[in-house]
Structure 1
Amino acid sequence: MPDLPLIAWIAVAAVLGLVVGSFLNVVILRLPKRLEAQWRREARDILELESEEALLPPGVVREPSHCPHCKHSLGVGDNIPVLSWLFLRGRCRYCRTPISIQYPFVELLTAVLSAIIVWKLGPTWAALAGLFFTWVLVAASGIDMRTQLLPDQLTLPTLWVGLLLSLIPVFVEPKAAILGAAIGYMSLWSVYWLFKLLTGKEGMGFGDFKLLAVMGAWMGPGALLPIILLSSLVGALIGGTMIALRKHGREIPMPFGPFIAMAGWIWFIAGPYLWQAYMSFTGMG
């Protein structure tokens, strides 16, 4: 890689994060609709029902960006990350419909997280892998928050990438990656079935098992317990706050995937420091 100061690489990562964040908004909004339409078609084929003539929703890559309300195609000036939203004051240029705050939020979040990855790992191949890991977590979290789905199209490739990286190895050895993936999946799988047997209800989705398996493949089995504990703590704090502010009803299920993703990313960046802080706090360090 070119010999540039670290601050320059961090700036490049932030700008790249803005651009990728714009694409992740498309993934978050379009992928679930596309999958649901495909599932309906497949279900009708299996049941031997007459096929629907309705067109599939826009794809993630090929179809150009457009206003979801008036369907007007967006120009280059309407697609500049963050700046276009600010310049247009959060409204569509053509129909003046409000544009969700999600767009600039995801773009800024991806930029900040990308910059932190390069700051932590430097201009290395490990940082490139870390950027991929980060972007998938942002997209998966956004989709889960909106639809309570964690698509296999995101979790499974990331799981396999983590396992393949262990062959080099980049973050963990192959044995740790394989054990981490298996234990991550089976731990939540066991909790799911125990909860269902005791209550008759489903406490989480199968996508959560796969997402924790991703964490195990990338960071090894030693990261799983801290990630589960941290995700539970973050989930309790955020969920309790939303319920207290009446932003979320007690009876409405809350997706757990974003909390796993958040805790996993934090541990990916700062796991050793958090562990050392915990050991020092408890007097064991």
Structure 2
Amino acid sequence: MLDNYLLKGCGTALVTPFNEDQTVDYEAFGRMVTRQIDNGIDFLVPLGSTAETPCLEDDEKKKLLALTKELCQGRPVVVGAGTNSLKKTIETIKMLEPYDPDAFLVVVPYYNKPTQDGLLEYFKAVSQSTDKNIVVYNVPGRTGTNMQAHTTLRVAELPNVIAVKEASGNIDQVLEIRKYAPSGFSVLSGEDGQTFPLMAGGAQGVISVASNVAPRMMSHLCHLLLAGEMGEALVLDNKLKPLYKDCFVESNPIPVKGALSLLGLCKPYMRLPLTSATPATMDLMKKVIGEYK
């Protein structure tokens, strides 16, 4: 642990593997969690957008979280619980609380397009609904709303809000949050490609998609940055850039699940409305995996 930060380093936004018949492949999920731990990942993030969570049933969510907790070997587990309805978000939190996650990841409500005041009141209500830690997640490319720095900083003052996953793509905005954040509040990159500049500017880590494929490399990158080893970190970051890019040539997690299937870790199946990776995407992932081997 770094100083008084609960979350730091590299956390993996875990995919949910499916069988051909569309059932969850829990055996493959367990193997992937174990692989993450064995390769130095600092914390685990099941049931996020990378997990295709909108297409999961409640029983599946509970079983995936329970399995993550069983296999995490003491690493923090941050579980996705956010929706675009306050009532549904709180119901999801209450449903998952018995499985003892270390924190809930709560996304900015999508589709509704709330005002900044609405966001503050929403996160206040979520915070008051649980004694568990909350990580807020700003990803305007998926939600249609950017939570601005001044709003995030007000939300950060809530007693159990411990971190933000920032995927706005606006480095200045993220660094402003980092500059004025209260003590112990983690600022985490939500985009692999911004891990280096944000951590060089003082952010504590990343919630990564690429680390599904390359957990050892991504965790090592974060550990180098936390240690101030900027030269070695820059070399590794440059090596990882093709993976950052290729993981998003189609909607996440289509490419990363294709890559995991090439590694023999899971099957490439998705649940509609997402479809499996195209042959062109599979060729890209095969090439980038080959370079890292």
TM-score by length of 1: 0.24
Higher helix share: 1
Higher strand share: 2
Which structure would you say has the larger RCO, counting Cα contacts within 8 Å and 6 or more residues apart? 2
